[in-house]
């Protein structure tokens, strides 16, 4: 009964959820996490490394790994010991010209063995400064990321804003309910 097996076994009982937060640089990952932790969201500098934070929500400990989106860090995204329950993919609604790059990375990430079967939450962030048609935007992104073709992953797509807090709670609610659906229906 070593540490490594404790890490694995206690996850369920202790309601430990592991979330990997990925997405291109400057999309707002760190701001979202800090906003959820009710921390100051002014003057956040680009994440050159990574941070782990725990958000306690509805009795769950949601351990979020926020990893910098710079391309130099992308090889580093999968170096860890635990299984990932959810991948949260953050997009920037104000920089839609990067959608193709988004798909490229997203697709690569999902090929990772360690993400097999994990839930996917796609957040379209900075919706506060987006003034187009949200529904259309969501459809466009669903198509670009080919979400409908995904197998073995449950997914959800939300527009949100780290600034106003819009939909962030909903995102967490979805994670928790998915988790419960998967593991605690009984």
Partner 1 sequence: MDDESGISKISDILLQEIDHSLTIILRERQDYANLSETAEYETFKKAIEQFQPSPQLLDSKLRDFLERVIRSYIKNCLYEDQDDALDTRISCVFYQFAKVRGTKTVSNCLPSDISLISIVLKRGSEQRSWESRFFLFVWLSVLILAPFPLAKIDLHLPDKIYNVAFEYLKTGSKETDAASVLMARFLSRVDSRDYRDLFISEYFNSLAWEHESNVFAKIGILSTINRMLKILTLEQLRNHLDRILTLISNEINDDSQQAPSSILRFFIKILGKLSLFFMRLEQYGNIEDIVSNLLKFLSHNDTVIRYSTAKQLSKIGLHLDSDSRQDILESLVNLLDISFMFDEGDEFQADLHLDPETIDIVSFHGVLLTLGEFCRLRLMSKKWITITGSICHRTLFVEQHRLTYSAGSNVRDASCFDCWSIFKKYRDAEIPPGVIVTLFKDLILVSCFDGDLMIRRAASATLQELIGRHGDLLFRQLSVPSQYISMFKVKLIEILDYTALGHITKSYQLPSQIYRRLNGLMHQEFVDFLLSSGIRNYNYSLRKLSSQALKEMVSISSDYDAENVIMKLRGEYKLCKEDGILNAIADLLSLLPERSVDSTQYHAMISNFTFDFHNDEFSKGEEYLHLLKELVARLGFQLNSNELDTVFNIIRTNREEITDEFKELSKYLKDIPLKYAERWIYYVKNGNLASAKALGYSPVMRERSQEVLELLSDIRLDANLRSSLIDSVSIFLQRDGYLNKTFIQGKLKLIEQLDDYTVTNKGDVGSFIRISSIDMIFENRDFFSSEDDRQAIEMRLLRLSCEVMDNVKLRSFSLLRSLEHWGSQVEDVTQSELLHNPQKYFGILLKLYDNENLCLESSKEFWKGYSFSGGSSQAVDKTINAAVYAFLRNWQVLTNEKKCAMLRIIFSLLGKGPLMKDKGSKGIRYNKMQTSCLRFVCNLIELNLEIPPEFELESLFVRTYNMTLGSSNYLRLTIAVRILTNLYLRDPKKFHGCKKRLQWLGEKHPLTKVKARAFEALQEIEFESQE
Active site residues: 70
User: x/- string (CB under 6 A) for ligand GTP, residues 82-111?
Assistant: --------x---------------------
Q: Which stretch binds Mg ion (CB under 5 A): 1-9, 30-38, 134-142, 169-177?
A: 30-38
HSE at residue 56, side-chain half, CA atoms within 13 A, is 2
Q: Which residues bind partner 1 (CB under 8 A)?
A: 1-4, 6-8, 12, 14, 47-54, 63, 65, 68, 73, 75-76, 79-83, 113-114, 116-118, 151-152, 181-186
Decide if 150 contacts 158 (C-beta within 8 A): no
Element (H, E) at 65: strand 60-67
Nearest to ligand GTP of 36, 175 (CB atom): 36
Shortest reach from residue 163's CB to ligand GTP, in Å: 4
How many residues touch ligand GTP (CB under 6 A)? Answer: 22
Q: State yes or no: 69 annotated in a binding site.
A: yes
64: nearest Cα among 93, 37, 102, 44: 37
Cα(185)–Cα(72) distance, integer angstroms: 41
143 dihedral zone (left: phi>0; alpha: psi -120 to 50; beta):
alpha
Name the site residues for Mg ion (rule: CB under 5 A): 29-30, 47
């Amino acid at each position: 009964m070593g540490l490594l097996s404790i890490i694995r076994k206690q996850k369920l009982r202790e309601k430990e959820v592991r979330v990997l937060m990925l997405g291109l640089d400057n999309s707002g990952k760190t701001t979202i996490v800090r906003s959820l932790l009710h921390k100051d969201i002014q003057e956040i500098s680009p994440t050159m490394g990574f941070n782990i934070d725990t958000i306690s929500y509805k009795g769950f400990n949601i351990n979020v790994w926020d990893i910098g989106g710079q391309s130099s860090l992308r090889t580093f995204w999968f170096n860890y010991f635990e299984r990932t329950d959810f991948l949260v993919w953050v997009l920037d609604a104000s920089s839609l010209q990067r959608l193709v790059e988004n798909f490229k990375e997203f697709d690569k990430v999902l090929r990772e063995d360690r993400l097999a079967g994990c839930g996917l939450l796609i957040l379209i962030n900075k919706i506060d400064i987006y003034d187009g048609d949200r529904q259309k935007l969501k459809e466009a992104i669903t198509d670009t990321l080919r979400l409908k073709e995904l197998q073995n992953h449950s997914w959800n797509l939300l527009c949100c804003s780290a600034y106003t807090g819009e939909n962030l709670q909903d995102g967490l609610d979805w994670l928790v309910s998915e988790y419960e659906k998967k593991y605690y229906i009984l």
